[in-house]
Amino acid sequence: MVNRLIKRGKSCIYIGKLSSVYSVAICTEQQGDLQGRQCTPDGGAIVVAGQGGNVYMLLGAHMSIAGGVYHAPYHGKNATCDTVQIFTKQSNQWRAKPLTDEDVERFLTAQKETGVTVSCAHNSYLINLASPNEELYEKSYGSMKQEIERCDMLKVPVIVMHPGSHVGSGEEAGLKRIANALNRIFSSLPDSTTVVLLETTSGQGSNLGYKFEQLAAIIDMIEDKKRIGVCLDSCHIFSAGYPLQSPKDYRATMKQFNEIIGLKRLRIIHFNDSKKPFGERKDRHEHIGKGEMGLEPFRHIMNDRRLNRVPKILETPKGDDLKEDIENLKVLRSLITKA
- Using CA atoms, how far apart are residues 199 and 218, in angstroms rounded to an integer? 12
For the beta carbon of residue 43, count every other beta carbon within 10 angstroms: 18
CA dihedral 18, 22, 26, 32 (to 10 degrees): -20
Write the pLDDT tens digit of every residue in 127-180: 999 999 999 999 999 999 999 999 999 999 999 999 999 999 999 999 999 999
Q: Which of 12, 29, 56 is the last residue of a domain?
A: 56
Single out the residue of 286, 287, 302 nearest to residue 335, CA to CA.
Answer: 302
Same domain, 14 and 145: no
What pLDDT is attached to residue 48? 63
Same domain, 229 and 288: yes
Same domain, 200 and 150: yes
Domain of 116: which CATH number? Answer: 3.20.20.150
Work out the average pLDDT over 21-30: 31
Same domain, 185 and 320: yes
Same domain, 50 and 91: no
Could you give phi then psi for residue 84, rounded to 5 degrees? -140, 165
- 92 burial class (0-12, 13-18, 19+ CB within 10 angstroms)? exposed
Residue 339 lies in a domain: no
pLDDT band at 55 (very low <50, low <70, confident <90, very high): low
Give the angle 229-98-187 at the CA atoms, nearest 5°: 40
Same domain, 20 and 112: no
Same domain, 26 and 112: no
The domain in which residue 31 lies consists of: 1-56
Same domain, 103 and 33: no
What pLDDT is attached to residue 27? 38
What pLDDT is attached to residue 49? 55
What pLDDT is attached to residue 56? 72
Same domain, 256 and 116: yes
pLDDT band at 32 (very low <50, low <70, confident <90, very high): very low
Same domain, 141 and 250: yes
Determine the residue type at 263. L
Report pTM.
0.87
pLDDT band at 3 (very low <50, low <70, confident <90, very high): very low
How many folded domains does the chain comprise? 2
Same domain, 22 and 79: no
For the beta carbon of residue 141, count every other beta carbon within 10 angstroms: 20
